[in-house]
Chains A and B, each alone.
Chain A
């Protein structure tokens, strides 16, 4: 019940295309869903996040779509650029007691945007 399943493992997209990464979860206690972007040699950086009372959130070329009934959420990268080539992680947060909130991460999607 703690898992977050992410697909695909890797993705190759042409420059200007749309990149779509999907995540699914089981635990309904999750209440915050961030996406992280990680470049080689760097730590993950928060990209965009959504709460389950919202079905879509857009920030620039990045959009999260959230389907609460299906327990699925996805990241869409519009007009993908070579600079977007990175590993993307979805995550889900839940309260774990004693004032602590824990993030559970998907296993990541390696995105390559080719010119």
Chain B
């Protein structure tokens, strides 16, 4: 099975711009979660989508949004970029939550805001 894929792998944007990142989960996985990874804060949960519905959200401002399509592919959008948004954005997919919760991560999108 192909793993989780994320595009693009690298992005450089300017403050004030907006950006859209894409994630394709493992085939058959219906849950997609997004995380922000920075050296100072580690991995922080952004949101989770399941069957096109956001069912959980972390503590991030409204500039961070996402959506999921009927084929489970997901996108996240960051509007009005700030320097502090520079990070590795990781997407993870899983079959669904449950007693075990194996999440499979993609390689991430490295976003640099200048």
Task: Give me the interface of A with B, judged by CB distance under 8 Å.
Answer: 31-32, 34, 36, 41-46, 49, 51, 89, 93, 95-108
Question: With A96-B56, A98-B55, A101-B97 given, is the CB distance from A108 to B42 under 8 Å?
Answer: yes
Q: Which residues of B contact A34 (CB under 8 A)?
A: 101-102
Question: With A43-B108, A49-B100 given, is the CB distance from A100 to B43 under 8 Å?
Answer: no
From 70 to 102 in chain B, residues with beta carbon under 8 angstroms from any chain A beta carbon are 90, 92, 96-102
Q: Which residues of B contact A100 (CB under 8 A)?
A: 48, 50, 55-56, 97
Question: With A43-B90, A89-B43, A100-B55 given, is the CB distance from A32 to B101 under 8 Å?
Answer: yes
Complex: A46 Cα to B44 Cα, angstroms:
17
Inter-chain contact B42/A32, CB cutoff 8 Å: no
B45 touches which of A42, A51, A89, A102 (Cβ 8 Å): A102
Q: Which residues of B contact A42 (CB under 8 A)?
A: 107-108
Q: Which residues of A contact B103 (CB under 8 A)?
A: 46, 103
A contact patch SS: strand
Within the complex, what minimum Cβ distance (angstroms) separates A22 from chain B?
16
Complex: A103 Cα to B34 Cα, angstroms:
11
